[in-house]
Amino acid sequence: MFCYQCQETAGCKGCTHRGVCGKTADVANLQDLLIYNLKGISMYAIKAEEVGMDNIAVDRLIMDSLFTTITNANFDREFFIERIKETLEVKENLRKVLEDKGVDLSSAKHDAAVWTADTVEEFEAKAKTVGVLATENEDVRSLRELLIYGVKGLAAYLHHAYALGYEDKNIYAFIRKALVSTTEALSVDEMVAIVLECGKFGVDGMAILDKANTTTYGHPEITKVNLGVRNNPAILISGHDLKDLEDLLEQTKGTGVDVYTHGEMLPAHYYPAFKKYDNFVGNYGNAWWKQNEEFEKFNGPILMTTNCLVPPKDSYKDRVYTTGAVGFSGLKHIEERNEGKSKDFSIIIEHAKKCASPTELEKGEIVGGFAHNTVFSLADKVVEAVKSGAIKRFFVMAGCDGRAKSRNYYTDFAKALPKDTVILTAGCAKYKYNKLDLGDIGGIPRVLDAGQCNDSYSLALIALKLKEAFELNDVNELPISYNIAWYEQKAVIVLLALLHLGVKNIHLGPTLPAFLSPNVVKVLVDNFGIGGITNVEDDMKMFME
């Protein structure tokens, strides 16, 4: 195996025996083969589109499959074997249909398109030859993988939007094009151009998800979220999928079973539609990487709706359920919803009834809900505070949390920020400082949480709104600094989206991605002023200058 797609990759170089995330070598290889097969399917799907065929089912399969390969989503060998079989079948069918129609397939003769096999042994042998290292040139590999990770993150966001009935064929078409481009001998300029184009579709993807979420559940509102527990049996829901949460809340209503959020599901509390459920109690615990300890103490069943699964400990393994793109051998999986129906969570609810109530981890509450609509409604107040000098600078500290001790930098940085600065956050990075009492500036809290990682879109809209309010020509003239923590591929698409919107001088930490070669880093530094982090003191000086 060779995988370097996330920030925690071994030695900041690459996982080669077993993932730091717990992904085994055989699963990593099968994921590589699945991606390879998606490239082949895309070659035929592009042809199919040219002749007017409806590709939507194929596009959804590509999207879903990409999502299953992101960090901490799916660890299940059997799942990937079955998915490879399915994609091979789809690929073959597509080829046959196109041949029957007399479509010229001479430009779709790449091995990724024509390769097929029947046995798992053949899959495993092939997988070893089509991974990341199959591209020898370090810079080409870097740009190809940057693009692949961008579309993986994008696919995850599209998946959440699709669950609510929203999709965009143009974005699917770009994903196909991007996948195929990684099999072509393109110039560096051409590859860079597609990577940047991916950022454009990143903005579109986050916009469609924002529309899906806010149209379905209302605009996030300023909300106090309870951190304590009640004395009832309960279910903990994690991940990002709001539709799963809705189904779960509907089905637990009146059963005596409470529901708490974990990790990235925290922002669900900000949506008006979920406030009507009396049993939707609060947020339990912290970011994804603390789940081993926190799931143990929760005592009840846990539902993982998207990525963020850490291989479970035996002590609570029987209480963890997966659904959607998530998978782990031995965990119970809740099947997809049938058209127009809800997912059936009754097994989890019955399980909860037999469990003790959660052990309390903390008390108190935190405030969030500062997505674009809320901040726009406060715009006058915010603009006034900037004009009067009450707010000197905003710090976008969106992104991810993770295991590395070096991430304590973000807690220290938040504590060290001058009192006349405001943090704009989204994603699980917030857990590094959302429970510090950083106070407020004239009633505006010093930590404004917009929501999940995809709600970084809100932060971009807020920046654009401020640009307008201050009548500036360039978003980089605003008193906003970007000190972003990244972990996995959704953060990659967020980064590409920000670059597309023209944001410069983003600092990324705790380390720069291992998949960026020195030359690719140079392109990003020269064109976008991308930088890393050093230490709180020096960085603070640099940002405040």
Task: Give me the residues that bind ligand SF4 (CB under 6 A), please.
Answer: 3-6, 8-9, 15, 19-21, 23, 28, 71
Q: How far is the CB of 515 from ligand SF4 (least distance, A)?
A: 9
Shortest-Cβ-distance residue relative to ligand SF4: 19
Distance between CA atoms of 173 and 175, rounded to whole angstroms?
5
Of residues 18 and 297, the one with the C-beta less far from ligand SF4: 18
Q: Which does 21 bind (CB under 5 to 8 A by kind): ligand FSO, ligand SF4, none?
A: ligand SF4
Indicate whether 487 belongs to the interface with ligand FSO (CB under 6 A).
yes
Q: 444: which residues sit within 8 A by CB, 6+ positions away?
A: 378, 381, 382, 385, 391, 422
Of residues 19 and 399, the one with the C-beta less far from ligand FSO: 399
Tokens of 109: 């003769």
Indicate whether 400 belongs to the interface with ligand FSO (CB under 6 A).
yes
**Per-residue b/e over 283-320, b at no fewer than 16 CB within 10 Å?**
bbbbbbbbbeebbeebbbbbbbbbbbbbbbeeebeebb
Nearest-5° angle of CA 352, CA 279, CA 344? 50
The mark string for 82-121 relative to ligand FSO (x by CB under 6 A, - otherwise) is ----------------------------------------
Indicate whether 241 belongs to the interface with ligand FSO (CB under 6 A).
no
Of residues 36 and 394, the one with the C-beta less far from ligand SF4: 36
Quick one: CA torsion of 223, 229, 235, 239, rounded to 10 degrees? 40
Indicate whether 490 belongs to the interface with ligand FSO (CB under 6 A).
yes
Of residues 414 and 520, the one with the C-beta less far from ligand SF4: 520
Q: How far is the CB of 497 from ligand FSO (least distance, A)?
A: 12
Distance between CA atoms of 317 and 303, rounded to whole angstroms?
12
Indicate whether 260 belongs to the interface with ligand FSO (CB under 6 A).
no
From candidates 42, 307, 322, 483, binder to ligand FSO by CB under 6 A: 307
Q: How far is the CB of 15 from ligand SF4 (least distance, A)?
A: 3
Quick one: CA torsion of 150, 69, 424, 533, rounded to 10 degrees? -70
State the number of binding residues for ligand FSO (CB under 6 A). 16
Indicate whether 223 belongs to the interface with ligand FSO (CB under 6 A).
no
Q: 295: which residues sit within 8 A by CB, 6+ positions away?
A: 236, 262, 302, 312, 313, 316, 319, 320
**How many angstroms separate the first and last alpha carbons of the chain?**
44
Distance between CA atoms of 116 and 30, rounded to whole angstroms?
14
Of residues 223 and 489, the one with the C-beta less far from ligand SF4: 489
Strands (DSSP E) found in 39-109 = none
Q: How far is the CB of 352 from ligand SF4 (least distance, A)?
A: 31
Distance between CA atoms of 172 and 147, rounded to whole angstroms?
14
Q: Which does 3 bind (CB under 5 to 8 A by kind): ligand SF4, ligand FSO, none?
A: ligand SF4
Of residues 291 and 434, the one with the C-beta less far from ligand SF4: 291
Indicate whether 308 belongs to the interface with ligand FSO (CB under 6 A).
yes
Of residues 267 and 402, the one with the C-beta less far from ligand SF4: 402
Q: Which does 288 bind (CB under 5 to 8 A by kind): ligand SF4, ligand FSO, none?
A: ligand FSO
From candidates 150, 202, 263, 358, binder to ligand FSO by CB under 6 A: 263
- H or E element that contains 425: strand 421-425
Distance between CA atoms of 264 and 373, rounded to whole angstroms?
20
- Please identify which residue in the block is written with the tokens 């637990």: 252
Indicate whether 427 belongs to the interface with ligand FSO (CB under 6 A).
yes
Strands (DSSP E) found in 155-266 = 223-226, 234-238, 258-261
Distance between CA atoms of 387 and 400, rounded to whole angstroms?
31
Binding region for ligand FSO (CB under 6 A): 240, 263-264, 288, 307-308, 399-400, 427-428, 452-453, 487-488, 490-491
